[in-house]
């Protein structure tokens, strides 16, 4: 094992902000006590137990089932979870739990935008050798794909002719949402460090910022299952060691005040508009010339559970970007980061051409792809710099 010291770039004030954060991606890991962290690079051996959910399946085999096999059972997801004593998280509208002829179960999410994000996240995970995102495919059901003798006609109607994502369902008796904070932290401490760090590396590089306990499962072997990854479709701008700015609103009309954003100068990280404990009226006054009223309502509802009321806002590229301070309440920071040589090799090998195999032009802009590579370069640079420090 090669030990690498890392001198954090985070300021002491930023360390205080991030001390309670563990489920964020790598922008959270630069901030540690005394502004130091330890990078460790291990051998390629996998110490995971053979009982992990991902060691029990063939990913390509499961993909084949999800794409081709007949559905013999369909259940409303929220109802199925509640009946099993689980607490649903977020929206489950239109989502079903499907059972295929061989007994394989999966989660159906209808639509195109969000399902495409789910499928893309799975493909991206496979591109970098990660096995933490369950097999996920995009499928359009025809009538022959449904066992009509076993499935209620109303539920069958939610599938036939519809397109959506199908994600392998990992069964686990553990329900993070039904645990208190202390119970979750105790469980999280038992999850292998290499899995936590690989998940954080993936989330940072590919921009999956929607991180909360409802978007995470832990199986009986204490292995991670990363679910609900559709937020990967949203753009973000971030500097290593800081929280990201999320692209929350596109300007619905151009005004003289938005002209500067068209110039595409470098993202102005150091010049945000800072709102301290703003009211809805304060926020509306700032953005009303650029954002539809309904979008403002939706955003204000979304941020009601934010852990921090401060808002850092940047107007750039005909959009409003808001720093994700509200996500700074998910557990303690870790001082160490462990990656295998093989994992780092996957990320070093990323190119625009390889990314385009996963992120098609019709759904993801050139800017989006460049920003993935920029985040990759930031973390690789941090690791390399740490390796050269005394």
More confident position, 252 or 189: 189
Question: Among the listed ranges 51-60, 254-263, 297-306, 327-336, which one has the minimum average pLDDT value?
Answer: 327-336
- Give pLDDT, residue 15: 32
Q: Are 203 and 125 in contact (CB under 8 A)?
A: no
73-99 pLDDT, tens digit per residue, is 999 998 888 877 777 766 678 899 999
Q: Provide the percentage of residues in the chain whose pLDDT is more than 90.
A: 48
- Distance between CA atoms of residues 351 and 41, nearest Å: 23
186-242 pLDDT, tens digit per residue, is 999 999 988 988 888 898 899 888 878 888 899 999 999 999 999 999 898 988 888
Q: Nearest-5° angle of CA 136, CA 141, CA 146?
A: 105
Distance of CA 320 to the CA centre of its chain: 20
- Distance between CA atoms of residues 261 and 318, nearest Å: 5
| H-assigned helices in the chain | 12-18, 59-68, 77-83, 113-127, 153-157, 181-188, 193-206, 280-287, 293-302, 341-348, 352-358, 366-388
- Give pLDDT, residue 311: 86
- Give pLDDT, residue 325: 63
The total of other beta-carbon atoms located within 10 Å of residue 150's CB is: 13
- Answer whether 0.75 is exceeded by the pTM: yes
For residue 317, pLDDT over 50 is answered with: yes
DSSP code for 371: H
3-state secondary structure of 348: helix
- Distance between CA atoms of residues 158 and 175, nearest Å: 27
Strand 2-7 to 319-323 pairing: unpaired
Mean pLDDT of 340-349: 92
């Amino acid at each position: 094992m090669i030990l690498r010291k890392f001198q954090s770039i985070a300021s002491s004030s930023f360390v205080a902000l991030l001390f309670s954060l563990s489920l964020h991606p790598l922008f959270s890991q630069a901030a540690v006590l005394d502004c130091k962290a330890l990078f460790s690079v291990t051998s390629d051996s996998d110490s995971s137990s053979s009982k992990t959910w991902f060691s029990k399946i063939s990913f390509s085999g499961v993909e084949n089932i999800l794409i081709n096999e007949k559905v013999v059972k369909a259940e409303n997801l929220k109802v199925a979870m509640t009946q099993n004593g689980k607490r649903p998280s977020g929206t489950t509208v239109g989502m079903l739990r499907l059972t295929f002829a061989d007994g394989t179960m999966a989660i159906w999410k209808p639509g195109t935008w969000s399902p495409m994000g789910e499928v893309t996240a799975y493909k991206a995970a496979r591109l970098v050798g990660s096995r933490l995102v369950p097999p996920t495919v995009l499928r359009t059901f025809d009538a022959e794909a449904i066992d009509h003798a076993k499935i209620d006609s109303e539920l069958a109607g939610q599938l036939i002719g519809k397109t959506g994502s199908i994600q392998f369902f990992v069964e686990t008796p553990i329900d993070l949402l039904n645990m208190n904070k202390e119970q979750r932290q105790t469980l999280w401490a038992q999850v292998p460090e290499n899995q936590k760090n690989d998940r954080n590396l993936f989330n940072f590089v590919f921009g999956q910022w929607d991180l909360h306990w409802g978007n995470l499962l832990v199986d009986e072997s204490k292995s991670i299952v990363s679910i609900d990854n559709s937020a990967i479709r949203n753009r973000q701008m971030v500097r290593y060691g800081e929280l990201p700015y999320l692209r929350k609103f596109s300007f619905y009309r151009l005004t003289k005040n938005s002209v500067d954003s068209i110039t595409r100068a470098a993202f102005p990280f150091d010049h945000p508009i800072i709102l301290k404990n703003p009211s809805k009226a304060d926020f509306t006054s700032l953005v009303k010339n650029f954002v539809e009223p309904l979008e403002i309502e939706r955003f204000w509802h979304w941020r009601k559970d934010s852990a921090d009321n401060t808002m850092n806002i940047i107007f750039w590229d005909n959009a409003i970007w808001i720093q994700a301070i509200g996500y700074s309440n998910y557990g303690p920071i870790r001082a160490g980061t462990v990656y295998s040589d093989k994992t780092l090799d996957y990320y070093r090998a990323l190119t625009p051409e390889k990314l385009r195999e996963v992120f098609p032009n019709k759904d993801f802009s050139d800017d989006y792809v460049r920003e993935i590579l920029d985040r990759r370069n930031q973390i690789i640079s941090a690791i390399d710099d740490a390796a050269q420090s005394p």
